[in-house]
Amino acid sequence: MIIRPPTNWLRMLFVWDGSVLKTIVPQLLIILAISLLAVYTHGHLFGGKMPLDTVPFPLVGVSLAIFLAFRNNAAYARYVEARQIWGRILIAARALMSQVINYLPADGDGFERKLFLQRLIAFVYALTHQLRKTDPSEDLARYLPKEEARELAGMHYIPIALLDRLRLMLARAARRRQDGGGESESLLWLLDKQVSELSAAVGGCERISNTPIPFAYGVLLHRTVYLYCFMLPFGLVGDLGAVTPLVCVFVAYTLFALEAIAQEISEPFGTEPNCLALNAMTRNVERSLLEQCGEDVPEALKPCDRYNIS
């Protein structure tokens, strides 16, 4: 996703980065060519006039717009749910780190708080890479010991493996607390609740990532949009004449853009301009956890018109 500062109304008319226009330019050029052909031949094709008039097009257009809106709503629901899940990841990670800082003994008592922090941050980065099917080795090496990073690199579900290690660290700390005469069961339950919340968030992300909108549904909409736009010039040329290309390209832009936007946001963990800004969100979690522990905080990813930080 492209993170950008607020844009005024005039600039919005000409914005390019983050717009789907660049992806649908070839389709619009095809519609323009078909429209010019319809104007040049006065609606005739292969030696005969195409028996189309303007009556059915408004009816089909309204139905198509409703269908597109329904498709966009389904795609946007996936996008919103993915964003909410990542919000819960931030909340649970902050809460877990705060509880560890305030409830568990310091490093001198056997609990490696810094390693816990590193594994928690590595978990967030590992989840980002798993959702995008990219190599997490570089980010794991930044926070984990070399041997552990190498061991995790060969696993299929690295975020879950890191959560297991975090849970093991908490269990051992709770047992040491119990041996020292402190209360451990309720504390362990409190800490484990946040780990379970992170685990549930992983499952929610995997559900969205592994369950796309049914393919046949997208194919039907795709074919209908293209067929409608290809036929439109021959239905309008008799009434609009030379203005037909302008009107047809505008209508096609609206329909093609809606379909392209729905396609992008239906896969919220992708790298398209309108997908979730996972890099920025991951960096936000990292900065927050480091600050909680008094560590050096890296620079935030700043809004920029032309810098894709997805």
The pLDDT tens digits for 243-281 are 999 999 999 999 999 999 998 899 999 988 888 989 999
For 127-159, what is each residue's pLDDT tens digit? 999 999 999 999 999 999 999 999 998 899 999
For 215-245, what is each residue's pLDDT tens digit? 888 888 889 999 999 988 888 888 888 899 9
CA distances from 104 to 21, 138, 172, 182, 231 (A): 53, 30, 11, 11, 70
- In percent, the amount of the chain with pLDDT more than 70 equals 84
For 31-75, what is each residue's pLDDT tens digit? 999 999 989 888 777 666 666 666 677 778 788 888 888 889 999
Q: How far is CA 159 from the centre of its chain?
A: 18
Number of independent structural domains in the chain: 1
Q: Hey, which residues does 49 pair with through a beta bridge?
A: 44
Q: Is the pLDDT of residue 107 over 60?
A: no
In a domain, 192, yes or no: no
Report d(CA 255, CA 35) in Å as an integer. Answer: 16
pLDDT at site 64? 85
Q: Which domain holds residue 243?
A: 1-91+215-274
pLDDT at site 178? 67
pLDDT at site 303? 55
pLDDT at site 305? 39
In a domain, 36, yes or no: yes
* Number of C-beta neighbours around residue 156 at 10 A: 7
In a domain, 182, yes or no: no
User: Band of the pLDDT at 307, cuts 50, 70, 90?
Assistant: very low
User: Band of the pLDDT at 173, cuts 50, 70, 90?
Assistant: confident
DSSP string for 90-151:
HHHHHHHHHHHHHHS--GGGT--HHHHHHHHHHHHHHHHHHHHT---HHHHHHHS-HHHHHH
In a domain, 193, yes or no: no
In a domain, 144, yes or no: no
Report d(CA 204, CA 280) in Å as an integer. Answer: 20
In a domain, 233, yes or no: yes
In a domain, 225, yes or no: yes
In a domain, 22, yes or no: yes
Residue listed under structure tokens 């005739």: 44
